[in-house]
Structure 1
């Protein structure tokens, strides 16, 4: 009996630990940035041993059940509705700053990469200083923003073909597409120059060759601006899924090396296998939630919390590698899920339910 109680106690303790692991799920998101060698681990053997260990599978199942119950409870009782409505209203007041936020989030990493001597990803030591610094400063100041975003995207995609390691910064695709879609916004050099060029009698207006074409392009693109949250969701969510799969689940030796290097099993007392499997599954689940647009603001807030924890848990992980992720998650806090998001369907269901509750029942 005592032995059985000890087993139950250990399983409950491991379950609590698994929730902590899920909460810090993407700590060590870019493993290749902080370790040079990985453990010699056979992937089928790793999963065979791990998925038959009750002190790994049990906590993961408990964690998944707890998350499912929390979601079901929220959908059933919908607490804090006024708080959430006030939060959404406050976030909506920052909509005008979304282009500026995106430009900073992509421009600063490009400038930093140029001066540090690597190409976009710290894992790729290729010196393209002038190219990255010029593109980064153009994005930062909002000069020829859409064109620069597309040129940067083309450079990244060509780089991925040559150096697949650039896939570690896959969020650049979604971020740059979002900038090309929404434009420079304010404050930006584009806005200032367009205002000067569009003012009658200005000398610059007579010589400016771009104003007319830029205005035509902007009018054509404006109809698609509402899809910005969708583009950001897809870019950020697919990045999480890629990192969770390639850096953890399909390469557990690399993730185990990170757990050992930073002694994460002592920080949160869980087995290294539980750390790797829990973190990988958490990243994939968070990515799927973002792509689906399920609790988008909550998912984005979770992502920001995880990135912040990473800065403390992995002091060697380069900060610039996460700036674009921070920025894109912050954009989703402001915009919400946008078109083609599950959140929209949930809101419609909730609205219909409220209308049914207040509908008069009639009488004689």
Structure 2
């Protein structure tokens, strides 16, 4: 009996950190149906925390994450591969607008043709509006106006379908990111812009027309603020899903564990699976939200989404495209302004004996 418990503890400890990235971390509402009510929140948490194995797994996972974090702070910047990766990711900045347009426009087009409103959980058809906005975004035509229209459309829908539409709150990050960054390249807007600024062209007659970009610049809104806007709403989305879909509604999440036989992947209780998935999403969300190890957190979010893609065969993949794009965008931009990556993290690096000039997201690139 003792040896069996020890074996379970060892296996559980090894997968403790990885649990948060397993397929149960999907939008639970997309792969389950309303059914019998599950355990209450207090009952659920009691079931998790009263099991010594679960507590041991959580402690082991916390220790593992702490050691990995300290190791990264101390040695991460001394790895040449890390420097090359950061430099390469930053070189993708000219294509950031294109990435955001694709990540927002494609699922919006799918929502229009699929007959739902942003989220598959909201069965309201707004085909013409969503397809029109999506087409403009994908083509890169009147991009900022299209993003503004999409933002307003989402907010109107949120007012009438609250809180269900919060399942797709990543659209806020997408629309705001596009609004600030602009169309990027390639895009129809960039082509028109080059015609306008070239002397002798017909389009040069419209050179003095005020654009959305001019208005934003007048209010002091620059492209550098885009990572902050993306972080706020993407981080909120991860944290919100982790808490509300897993911890506050464990019955639906337990259905996912049973449906895909996730306890066969690791010998842990279904309740522990749900708790760990929620914890993983919450931690990733808070890291992104506060701009702490932003690229690493975005990478972890990308892994969560990838395991969902391959682990849940009936999950609506198109509904997650925006999340894929936004995590990819943060891999490119890093944290942006108002982030712990620019304040606390460099201080921690300095205190444990390494120069802060190569921080996870340095204010001044040290390439």
Structure 1 length-normalised TM: 0.90
Contact 1:18 1:274 in 2 (8 A): no
- Among candidates 18, 21, 26, match of residue 29 of structure 1: 26
Give the match for residue 290 of structure 1: 288
Contact 2:77 2:83 in 1 (8 A): no
Deviations, residues 339-358 of structure 1 (Å, cap 9, x unaligned): 122222334664795569xx
- Among candidates 270, 273, 284, match of residue 272 of structure 1: 270
- Among candidates 298, 301, 305, match of residue 300 of structure 1: 298
Alignment of 1:208-223 (within 5 A): 208=206, 211-214=209-212, 216-217=214-215, 219-220=217-218
| Structure 1 unmatched runs, 5+ | 357-364
* Structure 1 residue 72 corresponds to structure 2 residue 66: no
Deviations, residues 130-185 of structure 1 (Å, cap 9, x unaligned): 10000001111111111211111111011011112111001111111111111112
Give the match for residue 197 of structure 1: 196
CA distance in 1, matches of 2:93, 2:309: 27
Please, which moves more after superposition, 292-301 or 73-82? 73-82
* Greater C-alpha Rg: 1
CA distance in 1, matches of 2:211, 2:184: 17
Give the match for residue 183 of structure 2: 184
Please, which moves more after superposition, 48-57 or 254-263? 48-57
CA distance in 2, matches of 1:173, 1:215: 19
Deviations, residues 309-338 of structure 1 (Å, cap 9, x unaligned): 111111111111111100010011111112
- Among candidates 246, 258, 261, match of residue 260 of structure 1: 258
Instruction: Report the alpha carbon displacement of residue 221 of structure 1 after superposing the two structures with TM.
Output: 6.3
CA distance in 1, matches of 2:231, 2:280: 17
Aligned length: 352
CA distance in 1, matches of 2:208, 2:237: 35
* Structure 1 residue 324 corresponds to structure 2 residue 322: yes
CA distance in 2, matches of 1:354, 1:277: 36
CA distance in 2, matches of 1:250, 1:276: 11
Alignment of 1:18-57 (within 5 A): 18-24=16-22, 27-38=24-35, 39-57=37-55
Give the match for residue 167 of structure 1: 166
Instruction: Report the alpha carbon displacement of residue 85 of structure 1 after superposing the two structures with TM.
Output: 1.1
Give the match for residue 364 of structure 2: none
CA distance in 2, matches of 1:95, 1:213: 22
Q: Secondary structure at the match of 1:256?
A: helix
Q: Quick one: structure 1 residues 355 and 163, their matched pair in 2 at CA, closer, same or farther if it must change by over 3 Å? A: closer
* Structure 1 residue 228 corresponds to structure 2 residue 226: yes
CA distance in 2, matches of 1:210, 1:118: 40
Q: Quick one: structure 1 residues 94 and 270, their matched pair in 2 at CA, closer, same or farther if it must change by over 3 Å? A: same
Q: Secondary structure at the match of 1:100?
A: helix
Contact 2:38 2:250 in 1 (8 A): no
Contact 1:17 1:270 in 2 (8 A): no
Instruction: Report the alpha carbon displacement of residue 60 of structure 1 after superposing the two structures with TM.
Output: 1.3
Q: Quick one: structure 1 residues 40 and 23, their matched pair in 2 at CA, closer, same or farther if it must change by over 3 Å? A: closer
Q: Quick one: structure 1 residues 186 and 65, their matched pair in 2 at CA, closer, same or farther if it must change by over 3 Å? A: same
Q: Secondary structure at the match of 1:340?
A: coil
Q: Quick one: structure 1 residues 205 and 254, their matched pair in 2 at CA, closer, same or farther if it must change by over 3 Å? A: same
Contact 2:145 2:212 in 1 (8 A): no
Give the match for residue 132 of structure 1: 130
Structure 2 length-normalised TM: 0.89
Deviations, residues 100-133 of structure 1 (Å, cap 9, x unaligned): 1001100111111111111110111111111000
Q: Quick one: structure 1 residues 121 and 168, their matched pair in 2 at CA, closer, same or farther if it must change by over 3 Å? A: same
CA distance in 2, matches of 1:157, 1:8: 52
Give the match for residue 102 of structure 1: 100
Alignment RMSD: 2.2
CA distance in 2, matches of 1:8, 1:78: 33
Contact 2:112 2:125 in 1 (8 A): yes
Give the match for residue 363 of structure 2: none
Contact 1:27 1:307 in 2 (8 A): no
Instruction: Report the alpha carbon displacement of residue 10 of structure 1 after superposing the two structures with TM.
Output: 2.6
